[in-house]
Structure 1
Amino acid sequence: MNNDVLPSAPVPLGRAREVLRHPSFALFWSATTIRTFGGAIAGVAFQVLIVTTVHATPMQISILNALGVAPYLVLGFIVGALMDRWRRQRTLVLTTVGRAVTLAVVPVLLLTGALNFWSLGAVILVLGVLTLFSDSAAQPLLPRIVPRGSLVMANARLGQSGTVAQTAGPPLGGVLLNLIGAPLLFVFEAAVNVVAAVLQARIKVKEPKPEPRPPGRYVGHDIIEGMQYTYRHRTLRPLALSVHVWFLGNSIVTTVFAVYALRELALPAWAFGVALAAGGVGGFIGAMIAPRAGSWLGAGRSILLGRILVVIPWLTLALTPLAQSSTAIALTVVVAAQFLYCLAMGTEDTNEISYRQSVVPDGIQGRMNATIRTVNRIVFFFGALLTGLMLTFFGYHLTIGIGAGVFFLAALIIVFSPLRNARQEDTVT
């Protein structure tokens, strides 16, 4: 397949500048930020409802958590193909309105006593589907809102506010839940999404008229074309393979971290919270330095730097016998590990997403993103299941060490590929 024959209407490169001065991006950023805050707050409320109102069993809790990911596994490729033929801004607005309506159903279920495992499962599943459509529309829409030369700065700003939201949102959600109760909290969440939808609708962006699918061509053809483009591309192929391997390592360490810290190290809950907060600080700083790193090192080396840095904290935890140390020492090492782990992610994630957006033609952005993101989630899903077996047979330290080794493999893929020398200035191919 010739990568050059695909339709493309990229935004001109332009000079990188403070993107929040760009009115359309300011609206996009504002809507995304308040939605992320709302999602973090709602996440706490859902967890409380699952345990205290629905009284879900451990198996039911697993099912409810899986429902949030299931739409990506089942519909991810299809939705990505649709995003290359639908109006992305319209999709973004409609899905945000749909989230508002769905969240508004929760207080009705609570007040009528109809909230149970099945009704809550339906709400979580619908939100998962809407989030899939929303995320699939947002990523390919961004290159039409800002010049390609400003994509790193734009994704950095989104990463910074997202990190703050994910760090501050859960404790804020806990406070609001105690102050106003679950019904009013979900009314508030619905209102947040209405505001976000209004902001999204005000974005001024030029989108080409969607082209109808030619006779005899089906969505499956679009999906295959997107996968072929991604895995045959000179630099996207190693990028995709590296991030897939990275997600495998991430599924291992994130699955084991909480139980390792709370059970093996016997850290108190407040100390575990401090470690997570340190990760939030690291992610914020990483997103702040990402544009400068991309400018100095280039996209490929910035991504590689993040891949290498992420090995260090997990290798340290694997090799250090913290269970024999004092709580203060264990907490210090765990906090430092979380800080460096999230710092690495903040640095490379911004440059990785921006590079993908900058080198791919508009006509296949949706499918490229869907291909990478869907495979990532499939890998994460099965990696998390595999981690349970590894913990059973190998224990904490060897399992964490395997995770560090997988991260190192993700870095090696970049070292021995053309991606290592890639820059954001690369032309769309």
Structure 2
Amino acid sequence: MADRTEPASAPSEMRRARWRYIGPGIVVAATGVGAGDLVATLLAGSKFGYTLLWAAVVGCVVKVALAEAVGRWHLATGRTLFEGWRSLGGWTSGYFAVYVVVWGFVYGATAMSSSALPLVALFPDGPDLKTWGILTGLAGLAFVWFNRYAVFEKVMTVLVGVMFVVVVYVAVRVGPRAGDAFAGLWPSLPDDSLLYTLGLIGGVGGTITMAAYGYWVNAKGWTDIGWLKVMRLDNRVAYLATGVFVVAMLLVGAELLHAANIALDSGGNGLVDLGDVLEERYGTATAKLFLVGFFATSVTSLIGVWHGVSLLFADFVENVRGGRGGRGGAGAGDGSAREVAAGSRERSLPFRAYLLWLTFPPMTLLWLDEPFAIVIAYGVLGAFFMPFLALTLVWLLNTDRTPREWRNGVLSNVLLTVSGGLFIVLCVQQIRDLPW
């Protein structure tokens, strides 16, 4: 990342206690880690033990680089990420428009189902999966609709605390072997482990919500380059916590599943299966506690997407209507105006329209098998988004769209380019695996 000293325009009390300001990084990291990511990490641990631990660590470094680049663009240029994309040509708007509509339709159902699964397991005599899914979707809609970023961040932070404590507790409970864990930090590739390795590096915590980080940074009130050090600390602390979280899940997979040769289902059902294994081994209390952590993980992804991607959509509509986002200069912009704009998006018609799109149309998929064409479109568009994000950031942050002193350094360019290449490989593999 660009190693420069930013102007001291942020409050002096912030410079004395930057850690008190962290928040947006926690939000983006928690939103990006969902039930599917936890199962992928568990499966990697169950198949290869501690061997791929290094890949989880490398994955967090990649996400730090991506989120730092997004945040630096917003702070250094005075422009949103979508304005940057539009400066690259009209093709970006066309791609985003198709992506955000199809992705939101399928993801809405996925998030509601994922949040419902632990509730069904916790309350077996209660409503069925579809009913719980609808209730969680409506609750997420109401929460984001009636609250602003400050409340949203506080609730996300509490849920992240629950996730973190529960998963680390379970990892300690299963008794990981420290020697084997440290050995797993040395890079190695067992037979048939390449795709699991790439998935751990590129998949866990990497979604469209990484693009929302800059919007959350602005909503926090960080509106110019004087907040750069705070943003970087926020980002690093968040992904350090994510790294511990992901490593803990991999240790659970390695110690509890790999050693006993226990197989899990893919998707959220795999976490319910793990709850059953924990109940058999460690008692009902540990199993129930894990299901609470599973619910917190799923809900952070749900409300994080409901809020963050709706901000992206609102900015997309603003740009298309107003024709903003030309090549132009990249000044620092008016910080107070940007903070007001970030707040007004949460009350805008496009923001709320996309909230409704994420909530109500996807409910139909809770009853129906996902239509084949939708599954294909969702898989293709989703696979292409992370390469799109990484490589457009390289483009934006190495040209005159960004002030010279805040452009990428060598380290940023290497990390973003490598991650872009990694995401392309994952994209090709995901497309190959689709049910054509």
Fold shared by both chains (TM-score > 0.5): no
State the TM-score, normalizing by the size of structure 1: 0.30
Query: Which structure carries more relative contact order (alpha carbon 8 Å, separation 6+)?
Result: 2
State the TM-score, normalizing by the size of structure 2: 0.30
